[in-house]
Chain A
Amino acid sequence: MIYTARHAIGQAVRGQALVAHDGFSARYDLDRIQGVFSRPTHKLAGQSYVGRILVLDTAKGGVASSWMLHEMATRGIVPLALVLNSVNPILVQGAAFGNVPMLVGFDGDITAKVPHGATVELDPAARTLRVL
Chain B
Amino acid sequence: MKLNDLERSMLAGELGAAAKSALEHQIKVGDFFGAADFVPVTQAHIMADTESLGEPGIAWLESLAREQGRVRVPTITDPRGTDFTKVGVLKHPGWIVDMERRAIEAFKKLGVLMTDTCINYQTIQAPARGESVAFGDTGVVIYANSVCGARSNYEGGPSAVAAGLTGRVPRYGFHLEQCRRATLRVRVSFTPKVLNDWGALGGLVGRLAGNYWTVPYLEGLERVPTSDELKHFGAAMASFGSIAMYHIAGVTPEAVEPSLPVAHRIAQAEVAALQSAYAPQGEIDVVVFSAPQLSLYELRELAALCDGRRFTKPLLAVTSPQIKPDADRFGLTKRIEDAGGHVLAGMCFYQSYAREIAEANGWKRLATNSAKLVNILGGYGYVPLLASMERCVEAAEKGRL
Contacts and interface: CB of A to CB of B under 8 A. Distances in A.
A62 B32 CA distance: 20
B379 A89 contact: no
B211 A96 contact: no
B52 A64 contact: yes
Given A88-B212, A89-B33, A61 B57 contact: no
Nearest to A94: B156
Contact of A88 (B48, B52, B60, B242): B242
B47 A63 contact: yes
Contact of B52 (A8, A60, A71): A71
Contacts of B197: none
Interface string A3-27: 0000111000000000000010001
A50 interface: no
A67 B52 contact: yes
B130 interface: no
Contacts of A7: 32-33
A39 B379 contact: yes
Interface string B188-224: 0000000000000000000000111100000000000
B59 to A, nearest CB: 9
Contacts of A28: 375-376, 378-379
B158 A62 contact: no
Given A28-B375, A58-B211, A59-B211, A67 B242 contact: no
B28 interface: yes
B321 interface: no
A37 to B, nearest CB: 9
B273 to A, nearest CB: 15
B212 A89 contact: yes
B25 interface: yes
B156 A61 contact: no
Contacts of B55: 71, 74
A124 to B, nearest CB: 10
A90 B158 contact: no
B154 A90 contact: yes
A79 B312 CA distance: 43
A58 B210 contact: yes
Contacts of A64: 47, 49, 51-52, 156-157, 351
B138 interface: yes
Given A89-B153, A90-B154, A67 B54 contact: yes
A65 B379 contact: no
Interface of B: 25, 28-29, 32-33, 47-49, 51-57, 60, 136-138, 153-159, 173, 210-213, 238-239, 241-242, 244, 350-351, 375-376, 378-381
5 contacts: A28-B378, A63-B157, A64-B51, A64-B156, A66-B158
Interface of A: 7-9, 23, 27-31, 38-42, 58-68, 70-71, 74-75, 86-90, 92-94, 96-97
Given A9-B28, A67-B52, A88-B242, 14 more contacts: A38-B379, A38-B380, A59-B211, A62-B137, A63-B136, A64-B156, A66-B159, A67-B158, A68-B54, A70-B57, A86-B212, A86-B213, A93-B25, A93-B159
